[in-house]
Structure 1
Amino acid sequence: MSSTDVSPSAAGLDIGSRRFLHPGPLRWLRCLGWAVLLFFVFGLTDAAGSIFPEKLFKAQGPLIALATLVICLAGFALYAGLVRLAEARWPSELALRPAATELAIGLAVGAAMLSVVVALLVASGLYEVTGPRASSPWNMISVGVVSGFMEELIFRAIVLRLLMRAFGIWPALALSAALFGALHLSNPNATPTAAIAIAVEAGLMLASFYLLTGRLWMSIGVHAAWNFTQGWIWGARVSGIPVKESLYLSAPRAGAPDWLSGGAFGPEASVPAMVVGTGVAVAVLYWAWKRGNFRAAA
């Protein structure tokens, strides 16, 4: 992984253009094949980060978060090596120099966004919040780490980037967001409405931060903090999954319409989340477009 800060410019986004992605016949098919292979490899890495620390290594407390982070960083190193071999480049999307700053910004933005969503749900009478109470944050930190690092690698650096190289920015945004939403249909209490909400408010929103910077760090921070804040701080269901421990406990009020509150899926399927997530997505996508990052570098 290069430590060079490769800043986006009017030349377009660096999404790979050599070796396996070189211009020529059937480039789109080569992009799709490479995307499918990487999706499979790092889908397994994502599963390892979710399962191994607790089930195989019996890690608890801080160790579960540390073990998860180590697996994710190993996955990033593997991705960098595969991209170097297949695309003849060190991935600028993993440039290390801006990582700390962009992660910190992303964490702050993600926590603020989810807290605004909960505040709107409470203010509109759709949710009630109780607590605080004693609890450990480590399991939810682990969830935030694996979802932030691995899902952003898979859906932004692999799916969005390679679809953009194959078909251009608009099909790439639409298809990657739709896939992100559709895969959440396997979650508990998922509905078509929830999948659409995830596609729009999260799929497009998280893509916008990658397109803005040309790197994953900010979208990783937003994704991780969104899930951690939702799960541990506010104790709401995370994409339909109930949390084990939380500082507060948040739930829809009796009689609150599911289409407004998100129902059993949690805040992510609520109208406030749609408004906040979509608003941020539109603003950041516009900013990325103004920076020239809706174009691929040659």
Structure 2
Amino acid sequence: MTEDQIGLEVGHARVLHPGPLRWLRALGWMVALFVISALVYAGAQMISNPLFHSGGRLLEVLEVTAICLAGLGLYALVVRLGEGRWPEELDPRKAPLDLTIGLVVGALMLSMAVAGLYALGVYEISGPRSASPWGAIAMAVESGVMEELLMRAIVLRLLMRAFGIWPALVLQAALFGALHLANPNATATAAAAIAIEAGLMLAGFYLLTGRLWVSIGVHAAWNFTQGWVWGASVSGVPVSESWLVSKPKAGAPEFLSGGAFGPEASAPAMVVGTAVAIVVLWWAWKKGNLKVRADLAGFVSDR
């Protein structure tokens, strides 16, 4: 690996070219990309959210997937026009393996958190029962693809371009947690848990690989496993269709169980997510990806 290949590709040309006020141009570009992608996300949610409550059908899952793929394609086209590059963060050649790894890791992480809740005696689990998985699949695809596109490929990447890695990591995690305050049953504790265990952990996978696919897989599998497999609330949203049913026992301390928000606000999920975040961020640091790749002019700039 040559010197100019070390670090993360965050954009270096056209609207992000070196020069005065690059940080401000990066922020403006971030807002523009965020708004464009958020409109696509809203379209996906219009289909997937009703499915999450009613059980859903394969056709609607395919529609959500098509919308999300269109969102990724639109992002790639706009980045090509605005930054003069095809985004390596969406390299399709790496997608199959990365997604597979992410799906396995996400399912294992969430299951470890639920196992911790059960071992602590604060959760009760019943079932199995007959239930359609399509609504949960639609929700997992929608949230995994679009939230990772928004928060990691757009917000984290362009905050890195503007301010460097550490402010970018903290700000994107804080924003990710704060956005979950709009969810049902949300609390400040739940938002903080999401910021730390998920915001940092999912960013870590993006920084480690330089691509979005592992983060998408982890996010999607985490939500699907939490909602359909274990039947627990997903970010405060109760599920109606699930294979098992998991919920806090009456009188269980909310800081341990996560309360009505679900396992994501629980102590075991915090331990699992934070531990994985530390390991993955350390790995990304060892790889040299906690810095911006050198500009084409041959100098490294984090600003």
| C-alpha separation in 1, matches of 2:204 and 2:293 | 17
Q: TM-score, normalised by structure 1?
A: 0.95
Contact 1:9 1:293 in 2 (8 A): no
Secondary structure of 2:162's counterpart equals helix
More displaced stretch, 44-53 vs 249-258: 44-53
Q: Distance in 1 between matches of 2:48 and 2:261?
A: 26
Q: Which amino acid aligns with 1:102?
A: D
- In the other structure, the counterpart of 2:40 is 45
* From 224, 240, 248, the counterpart of 2:220: 224
Q: Does 1:264 align with 2:260?
A: yes
Q: Displacement of 1:65 after TM fit?
A: 1.1
The partner residue of 2:6 within 5, 11, 27 is: 11
What's the counterpart of residue 21 of structure 1?
16
Aligned equivalents of 1:128, 1:236: Cα separation in 2: 10
2:135 is the alignment partner of 1:139: yes
C-alpha distance in 1 between matches for 2:60 and 2:218: 21
* 1:48-71, Cα deviation, whole Å (9 max, x unpaired): 111046779x99411111110000
Change (3 A) 1:8 1:101: farther
1:1-298 map, 5 Å: 11-52=6-47, 60-298=56-294
Give me the whole-angstrom Cα distance separating, in 2, the residues matched to 1:60 and 1:200. Answer: 32
Contact kept, 8 Å, 1:106 with 1:219, in 2: the verdict is yes
Q: How far, CA to CA, are the matches of 1:222 and 1:38 in structure 2?
A: 23
Distance 1:9 1:50, change over 3 A: farther
Runs (4 or more) in structure 1 with deviation over 2 Å come to: 6-10, 52-56
1:63-112, Cα deviation, whole Å (9 max, x unpaired): 11111000000001100000000000000000011100000000000000
Q: In structure 1, what is the Cα distance between the partners aligned to 2:127 and 2:19?
A: 60
Q: Is the 8 A contact 1:7 1:213 kept in 2?
A: no
Aligned residue type for 1:263: G
- The alignment partner of 2:93 has SS state of coil
The alpha-carbon distance between structure 1 residues 18 and 100, as it changes in their structure 2 partners (threshold 3 A), is same
**How far is the alpha carbon of 1:11 from its aligned partner?**
1.6
In structure 2, what is the Cα distance between the partners aligned to 1:61 and 1:73?
19
The residue type equivalent to 1:29 in the other structure is: L
Question: 1: distance between equivalents of 2:132 and 2:163?
Answer: 45
Output the TM-score relative to the length of structure 2. 0.93
Partners of 1:177 and 1:206 lie apart in 2 by 9
Aligned pair count reads 292
1:15 Cα offset (Å)? 0.9
Rounded to whole Å, the distance in 2 between the matches of 1:53 and 1:127 is 28
Query: Tell me, which stretches of 5 or more residues in structure 2 are unaligned?
Result: 295-303
Query: Is 1:235–1:248's contact at 8 Å kept on the other side of the alignment?
Result: yes
Return 42-51 or 154-163, whichever deviates more: 42-51
RMSD (CA atoms): 1.9
Give the match's secondary structure for 2:227.
helix
The question of whether the paired residues in 2 share the 8 Å contact of 1:10 and 1:291 is answered with no
2:299 matched to which residue of 1?
A: none
* 2: CA distance, partners of 1:154 / 1:260: 30
- Secondary structure, in 3 states, of the residue corresponding to 2:92? coil
- Residue identity over aligned pairs, in percent, reads 65
> 2: CA distance between counterparts of 1:55 and 1:262?
25
| SS of 1:98 mapped into structure 2 | helix
- The alpha-carbon deviation at position 9 of structure 1 amounts to 8.5
